[in-house]
Each structure stands twice: as C-alpha cells, then as structure tokens.
C-alpha cells in the first residue's frame, strides 16, 4: 500500500519561512504525481492552494509556493502570517488513484 | 461561481449502505475535462481520497475501498452519487464532494462544505 509522508508538525515564527515536504513510499516524487497542496483550518473544509506541483489558484496568497526538491514535493511559506496556522495536506496521483499525506500541523508562534 | 453541496443521512447503522449525493452548480459535468470526486475525513484524522468520476463517465476508486464504492453521475440533475456498502463505525467521517478539471491538471479545485456521517447502532 502506497504511503505519502508529511511532517506531523512544524512551528514557525511570524514573518519567517517554512517548508513542508511530501514524500512517497514508492520513490521520488516527480511532476507526474501532480502534487497538490491543501490548507485546512479548524471546523472548515479544506482549501486548495497548489495544483500540479507549482500552480496557484486565484485565491492562493503569493507567499505560498510549490516545488520539487530532493525527490519530494515542497510547499514553502515565505513571510508567514498568523492566519497561516492550519493543517496542510499534500495529494499525489498514483496509477489512476490519489493518495493524501497524513498532514502537517503548522503552528505560528 | 462553482458551488457543491453534499447531502445524505447523518446516521447509518453498521452493515447498511450509505448513499451520498453531491449537488453542484456553476459548471456542467458534460464539459470535457471536468471531474467530481469524494474525499472523507474521520474526526481528528487525515483526509482520505475515495473516488472520482469524469465528464466521459470514466471512474476512479481508492484501491483499498474499491469493492465497497460506486460513483455515478446524473448530468441533467447536476448531481453525483456515491454509495458505500457494508458501513462500519470506522467509516464515521465528514464526507466532502470536490470539483476539478483534468485538462488543466487541477484535479481537486473546489470543495463542498462536507457532511458528517456517523455509523452507529
């Protein structure tokens, strides 16, 4: 069974930069996995931030960016704001199905 | 403006079949590239991808749940239905309906608010 791994938790100071990673048990994550990133705040439905590795939606704040590095998909937040405190999930595509990572709880402190 | 809304029972008994309906607006499921899917989240746990149906009736399922899931669409009603058989308490979760477009590689773009389904006798 395919497992997608994310850091369980990360802490960042306001104004700082943090990078969340998304790894696959099958090997290196490439653009063929169409990495997606989602933000979820307590009591809310998730919101899509990044699709197909690097692409942003019209509602995605400019401080969020997606990339690939070292065989992983990355979500980088530059100039973190207090409202960025949330759970973040990545989603990867495998052979006609999709698998979520376990999520990263980001604390802004 | 694209909107999606999930509907269905809030409580089901173990072994019963769950039927959820996603009613959407702002797009047509007959448009090339468009897909509507289902994702769930048990309380306090991570998201889990379940199923997806495309404009051309192509269907994709989570390998671990494939035997229990069926996804169908009614384009004229702007609805997608997900059925899950043999429900168990571990299936207690909020179930989300999503919209995406395969042609722009944005497979999960918009989300419904979700509906909480509890499995209990």
Min Cα separation A87/chain B (Å): 9
Those of residues 82-101 in B touching chain A at CB distance below 8 A are 96
Structure tokens at B52: 């997806």
Residue A1 pLDDT class (50, 70, 90 cuts):
confident
pLDDT tens digits along A17-52: 999 999 999 999 999 999 999 999 999 999 999 999
Token pair in block for residue B73: 């669409």
Cβ partners under 8 Å of residue B105, min gap 6: A34, A51, A52, A55
Across the interface, do A36 and B47 touch by the CB < 8 Å criterion? Answer: no
Confirm if A104 and A12 have CB atoms less than 8 A apart: no
Find the closest chain A residue to B44 by CA distance.
A42
**Residue B104: is its pLDDT beyond 90?**
no
Nearest-CA residue of chain A relative to B41? A45
The pLDDT score that the predictor gives to residue B103 is: 85
CA distance A77 to A109: 14
Residues with Cβ within 8 Å of A54's Cβ and at least 6 positions away in sequence, in order, are A65, A66, A67
Neighbours of A93 (CB within 10 A): 18
Contact B107 A98 (CB under 8 A): yes
């Amino acid at each position: 069974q395919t497992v997608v791994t994310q850091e369980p938790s990360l802490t960042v100071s306001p104004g700082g930069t943090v990078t969340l990673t998304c790894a696959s048990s099958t090997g290196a994550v490439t653009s063929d996995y169409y990495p997606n990133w989602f933000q979820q705040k307590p009591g809310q439905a998730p919101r899509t931030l990044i699709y197909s590795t690097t692409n942003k939606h019209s509602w995605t704040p400019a401080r969020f960016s997606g990339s690939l590095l070292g065989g992983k998909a990355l979500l980088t937040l530059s100039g973190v704001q207090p409202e960025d405190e949330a759970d973040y999930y990545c989603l990867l595509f495998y052979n006609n199905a999709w698998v979520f990572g376990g999520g990263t709880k980001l604390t802004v402190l | 403006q694209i909107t999606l809304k999930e509907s269905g029972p809030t409580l089901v008994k173990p072994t019963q079949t769950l039927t959820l309906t996603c009613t959407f607006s702002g797009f047509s499921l007959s448009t090339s590239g468009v897909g509507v899917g289902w994702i769930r989240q048990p309380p306090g746990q991570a998201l889990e991808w379940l199923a997806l149906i495309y404009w051309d009736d192509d269907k994709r399922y989570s390998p671990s749940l494939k035997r229990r899931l069926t996804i169908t669409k009614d384009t004229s009603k702007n609805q997608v239905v997900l059925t899950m058989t043999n429900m168990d308490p571990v299936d207690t979760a909020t179930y989300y309906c999503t919209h995406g477009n395969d042609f722009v590689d944005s497979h999960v773009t918009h989300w419904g608010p979700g509906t909480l389904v509890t499995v209990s006798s």
